[in-house]
Structure 1
Amino acid sequence: MHKSSAMDKSDIATRSSPLASQAYETLRASIIACEISPGEKLKIDALQKVHKFSSSPLREALNRLVAEGLVTSDDRRGFRTAPMTSVDLNDLTLCRTIQEAAAFELAIQHGDDAWEASVVAAFHQLEKVERQINRGEAQRDDRWTHLHKTFHIALISASQSERLISACENHFDQSERYRRLSASVRSKSRNTVAEHKALVDCVLRRDAAKARTLIIDHIEKTAANVARYLKEKRL
């Protein structure tokens, strides 16, 4: 089972200073939550004033984010948050469907009873919050985002491929950035509780073929909502 975050991220974090790691986590969370706009220039002096880090850990953090695709950099323009476009969304969705479908199938092939239990537990936590959201008692905030990601990673955690899990995690986070940006046009009729429950049922039945179909459909439905927003904004 998957015990930690991506290997390459862990290796980089081990070599980074504590302040650089803190700066990285802070900036990464702000970018994914769209608190920093797509394509916005990331000036070191401005970031120092807002986040109270010195220039060295900020530069190290930004370079890590460049490696993840959340920030761009060139000699003339400096650092900017990565742009968000229909072309990039299509590419990201393609990567996610290929990678998560493969990882899910492998997890079903290799997963044991403990893996099944971890998936059911992750779904239970997510389902409670989603039902609260459906009743108007909660929102799709950072808590929901954390539980949603935990569930998706649990589904693939028995794939026995750390590199594949790493890629899925990174692309999930990039997709979450798009989801946050397009929240205003989210489909009201979509039953995500039922979609997630169907994925759990595939785990319990060990139905790899159905799992592949459902995870691809699940990812593409979210992408379709985002695509409508990008079309409206002509991005």
Structure 2
Amino acid sequence: MNIGLSFREGLAGDGPRSLTSAVQERLRADILSTRLLPGQKLHIAGLAKQFSVSLAAVREALSRLVADGLVQASDQRGFRVCPVSLADLADVTQTRIDIEGLALRRSIERGDEAWLSSVAVAWESLKAVPHRYPDDPTVHYEEWVVRHRLFHRALVNACGSQWLLGFRDVLHEQSERYRRLSIRREVGRARDVQAEHAAIVDAVFARDADAAVRALSKHFGTTREFVELAAPRIAEVNGTS
């Protein structure tokens, strides 16, 4: 199949309105899924050929991803996927706990019954699909990833602040890269993600903001622990081993 042709054909439906936006979203997806690895060089000419778009469209898409913290730009070395590190992981995790914890607390205080219903729907939807592929536990089940993102967003949607939600979304994307990298490298330790989510949901339904934030913090902290356990193997894809 011609990748560039199929990419352009995808714009005819409900996709992004411009080629630049389409390239940006494709690259974003590849970075978050770790198909493009941390530290990997991003060659403008090669990407333009792959997507059958202009050099300018690729350059603009990459510049937008720089603003999102997913790509690095250097006058001398061009563009590359942002690297990962344990220091960055700690920073992302704690900041996400602070920002998303505040958004969750406000949502519990301000959210109405419609919001609680939306949380219930997102929770049931998430539980309906497996966390990993049964025949390959080192790979996320893709539909779970989509529903997981919607579930965590539903929890904070009633916070009443678009700025808070915007910061929260950026941090979620940064965390997603680390989670994807860690699950690709088994660490020999079991984790009950559904139980972690259930603890958050139970506290939300009980309107117990303190308990909900504690459960959310523990959930994010556990993700950090698993990433740290996989760190030696993650370093291999980051060029730091």
Give the structure-1-normalised TM-score.
0.87
| Distance change in 2, residues 1:42/1:233 (3 Å) | closer
Instruction: Give the corresponding residue for 1:111.
Output: 111
What amino acid sits opposite 1:176 in the alignment?
E
| Distance change in 2, residues 1:211/1:136 (3 Å) | farther
Task: For 1:60 and 1:225, locate their aligned partners in 2 and report how far apart those are by CA, in whole Å.
Answer: 35
Report how many residues are paired.
219
Task: For 1:27 and 1:61, locate their aligned partners in 2 and report how far apart those are by CA, in whole Å.
Answer: 8
Instruction: Give the corresponding residue for 2:198.
Output: 197
What amino acid sits opposite 1:108 in the alignment?
I
Task: For 1:117 and 1:194, locate their aligned partners in 2 and report how far apart those are by CA, in whole Å.
Answer: 20
CA displacement, residues 142-182 of structure 1 (integer Å, 9 cap, x when unaligned): 21111001000000000001111111111111111111111
Question: How far off is 1:136 after superposition?
Answer: 6.2
Task: For 1:89 and 1:231, locate their aligned partners in 2 and report how far apart those are by CA, in whole Å.
Answer: 14
Instruction: Give the corresponding residue for 1:4.
Output: none
Residue 41 of structure 2 aligns to a residue whose secondary structure is: coil
1:223 aligns with 2:224: yes
Higher relative contact order (CA 8 A, sep 6+): 1
Instruction: Give the corresponding residue for 1:31.
Output: 31
Task: For 1:171 and 1:151, locate their aligned partners in 2 and report how far apart those are by CA, in whole Å.
Answer: 15
Task: For 1:101 and 1:34, locate their aligned partners in 2 and report how far apart those are by CA, in whole Å.
Answer: 27
Question: How far off is 1:135 after superposition?
Answer: 6.7
Instruction: Give the corresponding residue for 1:69.
Output: 69
Q: Unaligned stretches of 5+ in structure 2?
A: 1-15
Query: Pairwise mapping of residues 164-175 of structure 1 onto structure 2 (< 5 A)?
Result: 164-175=164-175
Question: How far off is 1:30 after superposition?
Answer: 0.4
| Distance change in 2, residues 1:137/1:74 (3 Å) | closer
Question: How far off is 1:229 after superposition?
Answer: 1.3
RMSD: 2.1
**Which has more helix, going by share of residues?**
1
Question: How far off is 1:231 after superposition?
Answer: 3.9
Give the structure-2-normalised TM-score.
0.85
Residue 39 of structure 1 aligns to a residue whose secondary structure is: coil
What amino acid sits opposite 1:216 in the alignment?
S
Instruction: Give the corresponding residue for 2:142.
Output: 142
| Distance change in 2, residues 1:41/1:134 (3 Å) | closer
Task: For 2:143 and 2:189, locate their aligned partners in 1 and report how far apart those are by CA, in whole Å.
Answer: 20
8 A contact 2:108–2:204 mirrored in 1: yes
8 A contact 1:17–1:57 mirrored in 2: no
Question: How far off is 1:232 after superposition?
Answer: 4.8
Instruction: Give the corresponding residue for 2:123.
Output: 123
CA displacement, residues 88-145 of structure 1 (integer Å, 9 cap, x when unaligned): 1111111111111111000001100000000000000101113x75976996232111
